[in-house]
Structure 1
Amino acid sequence: MASFTAGNTRPVRLADIAKAAGVSHGTASNVFSRPEIVREEVRERVKAAAEAMGYAGPDPKGRLLRAGKVNAIGVATTEPLSYFFDDPFARVMMSGISEACDATGAGIALVSAGNQEKLAWNIQSALVDGFILFCIEGGPRLVELTRERKLPFVALELGSQDDTVSAIGVDNVAGARLAARHLCELGHRRFAVLSLAFVDDRTGLVSPEQVRAALYTGTRDRLAGYFEELSRVGVDTANVPVYETENDEASTWAGLETIFASAEPPTAILAMSDRIAMIAIEWLATRGIAVPRDVSIVGFDGVPDGALCEPALTTVAQPIAEIGRRAARRILDFDGMVRRETLDVELVVRASSRPPTRV
């Protein structure tokens, strides 16, 4: 941390303190980094000189950079910083990352920004050994910026076929099949889908052409899994409304308003995240539409909040915390290899799904 002498714009350096205290540069350095090997009388003299000159100690950034490792992981997203605390999926993921970091004494730096210029600066200036990328939106840009740092990084749910990008996630097609199969076996045939983003900064009903042009193949894969199962039981998927949300209240409400304006509203909703599903349950309750009596809902994620909502949410659970732990260890124990790892999911049946009242 640089300090300044009175009347002088030059920062006070450790060499200045050593000269003022009448000791060598090495001794002055040891006072701040290894005080136990310096005699008490010398320590007090150096500290007194430092205090008189307004010197708080060596810049820790310089020491860390000289060591070549800062023992910290950057967790990056293009979402606002509040995403890490507000989103139930992000909270569970961070608990897994934190557990792995606690085991080694490593730190965590949260990296986010509301615009591209600030994001670039935050990525470039972060004092970390590598990055875990929450590629919810702006995934390609996150990858581009972290590549420029030439540090190891791991993408979570990137949905990219780029084999040069390390990634940890789940089989979205298989997970979506589980959700749709469950509802089909209950007897549902009128469906709607509340989706995550196919591209950045867009919401609304999605056409087949827009699905094929999806930037986020994870979202596209979930829809493919849903439609495979629906087609298997004779549902015409061309008539299934797919509403693209931003995984938030405003866009989910707008989607439900659109879907339930239909003359034949769905008896079952496939939601691509638990957050969307829980928002939908609240919206339906305010309209007097009971879940699951009138509409069944199945989410996707398996966040703890889903078991506590009313009714408890049926969902496709992915091992969120384990994904976070593995991603963190991938950075902390980086061996130079690119790895893409797919973990299993499971269907957790709770109270938000049941056979339709009227078929």
Structure 2
Amino acid sequence: MANMTDVAKLANVSTATVSRVLQNPETVKEKTRVKVLQAIEELNYQPNVLARYFRRTETKTILVMVPSIMNNVFPQMIAGIDLVANQAGYKVLLGNTYQEPEKAYSYIEELKQKQVDGMILLTTRLDYQIISDLADDYPVVLASDYIEGLTAPTVAIDNISSARDAVEHLLQIGHQRVGMITGPLDIPLSRDRLKGYRQALLGHDIDVESVLIQEGDHTYESGYNQMNKFLALDKTPTAIFAANDSMAMGAIKAIKAHGLRVPEDVAVVGFDNIQFSAIFEPALTTIAQPLVEMGKRSMELLLKQIKGEPLTKKQHVLDTKLVIRESCGYNKQV
């Protein structure tokens, strides 16, 4: 079944132009209007009935798109979004893409068809130009990720400096051979955390060894598997920085399975400060993100766009904190 994007491609116009032809044809030049109508007829495009109704009426619903609801970070961010949304009389729908681009595009189509009033993306694998184009025409906020040059409103942390702080701590307490388990490197925040790791090592005149960098996928299992690769090296790392807490916990499990101790034999630092990190054994040293606040700020920005209010500031960078616990073997702030 054809959608508005298909019509726009065939007519060589934007989806916004197609929408105007359907909703306010008098605002579109006749030549352009004829092209769009011909494309609609050729593709037998049937405009969504719900969208036609909602062009005059708010849905009072927003969509939050996540790559995987299994990621322990997102529930806290969604809680912050939901809190602000409810106070403003909005409902929150959750779109889980399972990291599949086609599902992401189907959710975007819901926004374009005006089945929801706005969308918050909690990280994304979409090309930044797609996000920028979307944000030019619709209320959209990108949360968690920061993409250089992106014009869409963004709520994030400084992943580079936060990762650098985590590794810097390990270096300051005496570790010279620090391995890293990254997140998926097709995501900007994963690349930024790797950049922070590299900066910390180079700042101490320590060579960055490719063998000490393994790519995970933010799951407990990948942390376990990639740690096993480190432990198979002739010269194993004495400390590990994992790009999220779930992978850090998986790494600790692998270390223990080899009969080694954390932090006595291998120190471990994670990232995110999910709720379970404080009661894990040993309690996990980690970078704390203000997850609930990030969700709240994202919804506040989205509401301003929905109401047509100007945004005086589009890029919001929130502070993080190094939380030192037992897993790195040092219980005082350096």
Structure-1-length-normalised TM-score = 0.70
Measured on the aligned residues, the alpha-carbon RMSD in Å equals 2.5
Query: Residues 101-158 of structure 1, C-alpha deviation per residue, up to 9 Å, x if partnerless?
Result: 121221011123344334322321252111110224346487278458x311111233
- Tell me whether 1:276 sits opposite 2:247 in the alignment: yes
Note the C-alpha offset of 1:288.
2.1
* Equivalent residue number for residue 120 of structure 1: 105
Q: How does 1:50-65 map to 2 (within 5 A)?
A: 61=50, 65=54
Change (3 A) 1:62 1:230: closer
Q: Give the aligned residue type for 2:125.
A: E
- Tell me whether 1:143 sits opposite 2:127 in the alignment: no
Note the C-alpha offset of 1:283.
2.5
Equivalent of 2:157 in 157, 164, 170: 170
Q: Distance in 2 between matches of 1:105 and 1:276?
A: 37
Change (3 A) 1:146 1:181: same
Q: How does 1:36-115 map to 2 (within 5 A)?
A: 61=50, 65-77=54-66, 79=67, 83-84=68-69, 86-114=70-98, 115=100
- Tell me whether 1:287 sits opposite 2:275 in the alignment: no
Q: Distance in 2 between matches of 1:130 and 1:167?
A: 14
Structure-2-length-normalised TM-score = 0.75
Q: Give the aligned residue type for 2:204.
A: V
Q: Distance in 1 between matches of 2:167 and 2:101?
A: 37
Query: Residues 308-340 of structure 1, C-alpha deviation per residue, up to 9 Å, x if partnerless?
Result: 211111011111110000001111222243601
Q: Distance in 2 between matches of 1:289 and 1:91?
A: 33
Query: Residues 269-311 of structure 1, C-alpha deviation per residue, up to 9 Å, x if partnerless?
Result: 0111112112222222233222112111111112211112111
Change (3 A) 1:239 1:144: closer
Contact 2:273 / 2:287 at 8 angstroms: preserved in 1? yes
Contact 1:111 / 1:123 at 8 angstroms: preserved in 2? no
Q: Distance in 1 between matches of 2:246 and 2:310?
A: 36
Q: Distance in 2 between matches of 1:109 and 1:95?
A: 12
Q: Distance in 1 between matches of 2:273 and 2:72?
A: 10
Q: Give the aligned residue type for 2:165.
A: L
- Tell me whether 1:267 sits opposite 2:238 in the alignment: yes
Q: Distance in 1 between matches of 2:240 and 2:130?
A: 32
* Equivalent residue number for residue 25 of structure 1: none
- Where does structure 1 lack aligned partners over 5 or more consecutive residues? 1-59, 200-215
How many residues end up aligned between the 2 structures? 275
Equivalent of 1:353 in 316, 328, 331: 328
Note the C-alpha offset of 1:90.
0.7
Query: Residues 231-264 of structure 1, C-alpha deviation per residue, up to 9 Å, x if partnerless?
Result: 2333221366111111123433331222111011
Name which one, 1 or 2, has greater alpha-carbon Rg: 1
SS at match of 1:327: helix
* Equivalent residue number for residue 269 of structure 2: 298
SS at match of 1:289: coil
Equivalent of 1:333 in 304, 307, 315: 304
SS at match of 2:145: coil
Change (3 A) 1:242 1:70: same
Equivalent of 1:255 in 226, 233, 237: 226
